[in-house]
Structure 1
């Protein structure tokens, strides 16, 4: 099974979660600036929310994804204010013709004075458990 983890992170919050997911799966997390190679069974795709939307750079990345070479995308996210990036990310992924898992992982992210210390060790453990549950469900 080919599993990949890609993320877009401005502050490092989403990168922390991406690394936790990748560690659990036994691979390395990579930024969206590193293209996918070959067929992918599961793409864990992570983002934060910036000005109540996903970043235009992530939208551009999604537009380059080939739906015939990716079986399923699993969304994970961090944000200081909103509860999840799932719906916004899912909208762009589905518009590209990609299959999006109904399961997602989200945790608060630190921004300025909000959510200090997040993601924390508990968030990291939960991200690892989430990744394990996705892989075990296949």
Structure 2
């Protein structure tokens, strides 16, 4: 939607990153260990982190991610995107086409694109 490529958490972040959109996955109602490890690799060359997530049970990963990002001395945007995700029979089919439209709109708003 905004013309940037998504990368796996295993790839280091370009040191000239103004805005890092971070998809935070959930495991057992908390941010997954893989995301925590990734955040611990970030340095202050990242301008700010924008959180987006999808989960079946919890409402948002924002506060958990913000705490981890703040420990790294990096700014966390107050804007975030979260939608329901599916888990077994809960919220089957989520995220759906409407959620994908909403996250595209969100990304454009964040980047003024």
Bucket of the pairwise TM-score, normalised by the shorter protein:
over 0.9
Name the structure 2 match of 1:30: 7
Cα offset, 1:111, TM superposition? 1.0
Q: 1:77 aligns with which of 53, 72, 75?
A: 53
Taking structure 1 as the reference length, what is the TM-score of the superposition?
0.79
| TM-score normalised by length of structure 2 | 0.95
Compare the two structures and name the one with the higher helix fraction. 1
Q: Which consecutive unaligned segments of at least 5 residues does structure 2 have?
A: none
SS in 2 for 1:38: coil
* 1:43 correspondence with 2:43: no
- CA RMSD, 1 decimal: 1.1
Asked if the contact 2:81–2:106 (Cα under 8 Å) also holds between the matched residues in 1, the reply is yes
Paired residues for 1:77-116 under 5 Å: 77-116=53-92
Q: In the comparison of the two structures, how many residue pairs are matched? A: 113
Which aligned runs of 4 or more in structure 1 are off by greater than 2 angstroms? none
